[in-house]
DNA sequence: GTCTATAGGCAGATAGAC
DNA sequence: GTCTATCTGCCTATAGAC
């Protein structure tokens, strides 16, 4: 595989940084936090990621790639639109652990303070999600398994916002059920009677 | 009125700090930012608010009081449930200006890093909102002007989350219409056909 | 690749004069 | 009430040894 040894460390840095950003926000964690958690020096972090901005970019890239891969799996495993939507909501619910919320939802809150390259990536994440959802919604309406008013794109945006917001508000209560109930209501509202 | 002169400064501090927190988050602004904007010294800020934590508490208190007062006005001016819900959504839309989102939505993102007194106030804000909405929803269902599945409390939570999330996601796009479209879809889904 | 040491800046906060 | 001056600590980042 000719894989260099540094790969392990970079991944572990991303793992720790990701958890920190998801729970504390981009301005709520430091290189020192990551270094301490991994028992390495701050300087070592700078070897793998030039600065916080570059670490942030890598964070969103990896998160978006994983999410995209998960959507591909959903497309492969679920064949009707309602099932795809429930699987989609489950992806969000899986994120909701250890005080975490969606990485990009958190970064949307931090948006005003983010460097441009990170901003672009966050917007692209939402765009990709909306596109995927709009496709599922359109297919469901055509097949008669879903019904809704307005454009598929509008409903897709409402769903993304609704799920992100459900995580945001559920987190202070530390209660996953709060998220799941909201997610179910959002999606069941699209079911045919 | 026997109102002391310091009142003006404290209010202006709160105004500036509020705007900063709503756009940058609680960890994204500093006493120096507020001081510079008002052309006063950081030490002057500490005279009015002992520390950042106390400033944060005052911020949420004032915001919650204003929101509560606005809900009272809605109750007085609007008499059917659908109109109240639309007025409620308008309160949110009014907040969405100059890169701002709901103060408590932003603080929900920062929740893991907040001091306890601020946490309690944020949760209370959401509780109050849910209680008000649940009351409106129940009344609307009884009167036959609204229809929905599940408990009024669950739908209330879904609405709060949906609206907060709609702001969160619309902000990176700097597009109020994105928020309004989502808000309309959420509320129109409760209308009787 | 990882370390120690350190630079340079900004954070929140305090002391004491006016 | 507001100021200047200052403290302490943490932040991101770099230099240079191993």
Q: Which residue is nearest to nucleotide C15 (CA to C1')?
A: B43
**What pLDDT is stored for residue A193 in this prediction?**
79
pLDDT above 50 for B5: no
pLDDT above 90 for A113: yes
For residue A28 the two structure tokens come to 């709520």
**What pLDDT is stored for residue A7 in this prediction?**
67
Residue-wise pLDDT for A99-108, tens only, equals 999 999 999 9
Q: Looking at CA atoms only, how far is residue A85 from chain B in angstroms?
A: 16
Any domain includes B30: no
**What pLDDT is stored for residue B183 in this prediction?**
98
Residue-wise pLDDT for B139-167, tens only, equals 999 999 999 999 999 999 999 999 999 99
Report the residue from A109, A165, A170 with minimal CB separation from B162: A165
Separation CA B71–CA A150 (nearest Å): 29
Any domain includes A184: yes
**What pLDDT is stored for residue B35 in this prediction?**
98
pTM score of the predicted model? 0.96
Tell me, in Å, how far CA of B5 is from C1' of D1? 9
**What pLDDT is stored for residue B193 in this prediction?**
79
* Structural domain containing residue B116: 53-188
Separation CA A186–CA A179 (nearest Å): 11
Any domain includes B13: no
With beta carbons less than 8 A apart as the criterion, state whether B166 and A162 touch: yes
Residue-wise pLDDT for B104-143, tens only, equals 999 999 999 999 999 999 999 999 999 999 999 999 999 9
Q: Choose the weakest-confidence range: A55-59, A69-73, A89-93, B189-193.
A: B189-193
Q: What does B84-118 look like in DSSP terms, one character per residue?
A: HHHHHHHHHHHH--TT---HHHHHHHTGGGS-HHH
Residue in the structure block whose two tokens are 């006005």: B73
| pLDDT, averaged across chain B | 96
Any domain includes B62: yes
| pLDDT, averaged across chain A | 96
Any domain includes B120: yes
Question: Torsions phi, psi of B2, nearest 5?
Answer: 50, 40
For residue B54 the two structure tokens come to 């106390």
Report the residue from A161, A181, A189 with minimal CB separation from B165: A161
In this prediction, residues A87-94 reach a mean pLDDT of 98
DSSP state of A171: G
Residue-wise pLDDT for A143-170, tens only, equals 999 999 999 999 999 999 999 999 999 9
Separation CA A180–CA A166 (nearest Å): 8
Residues above pLDDT 90, as percent of chain B: 96
pLDDT above 80 for B189: yes
Any domain includes B161: yes
Residue of A nearest to B103 (CA): A109
Any domain includes A9: no
DSSP state of B160: H
Assign residue A156 the CATH number of its domain: 1.10.357.10
Q: Do B170 and A161 touch (CB under 8 A)?
A: yes
Split into its structural domains, chain A has a count of 1
Residue of A nearest to B169 (CA): A161
Helices (H) and strands (E) in chain B, counts: 9, 0
SS3 A49: coil
pLDDT above 80 for B4: no
Any domain includes B150: yes
**What pLDDT is stored for residue B162 in this prediction?**
98
Separation CA B184–CA B178 (nearest Å): 10
**What pLDDT is stored for residue A5 in this prediction?**
41
With beta carbons less than 8 A apart as the criterion, state whether A182 and B158 touch: yes
**What pLDDT is stored for residue A6 in this prediction?**
44
């Amino acid at each position: 595989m000719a894989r260099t040894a540094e790969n392990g460390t970079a991944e572990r840095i991303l793992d720790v940084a990701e958890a920190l950003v998801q729970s504390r926000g981009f301005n709520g964690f430091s290189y020192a936090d990551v270094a301490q958690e991994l028992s390495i020096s701050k300087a070592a972090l700078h070897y793998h990621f030039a600065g916080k901005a570059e670490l942030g970019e890598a964070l969103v890239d990896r998160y978006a790639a994983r999410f995209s891969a998960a959507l591909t799996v959903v497309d492969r495993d679920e064949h009707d639109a309602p099932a795809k939507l429930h699987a989609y909501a489950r992806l969000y619910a899986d994120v909701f652990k250890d005080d975490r919320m969606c990485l990009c939802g958190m970064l949307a809150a931090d948006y005003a303070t983010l460097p441009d390259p990170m901003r672009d990536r966050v917007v692209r994440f939402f765009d990709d999600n909306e596109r995927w959802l709009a496709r599922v919604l359109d297919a469901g309406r055509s097949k008669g398994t879903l019904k809704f008013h307005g454009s598929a794109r509008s409903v897709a945006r409402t769903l993304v916002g609704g799920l992100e917001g459900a995580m945001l508000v559920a987190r202070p209560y530390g209660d996953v059920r709060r998220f799941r109930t909201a997610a179910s209501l959002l999606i069941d509202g699209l079911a045919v009677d």
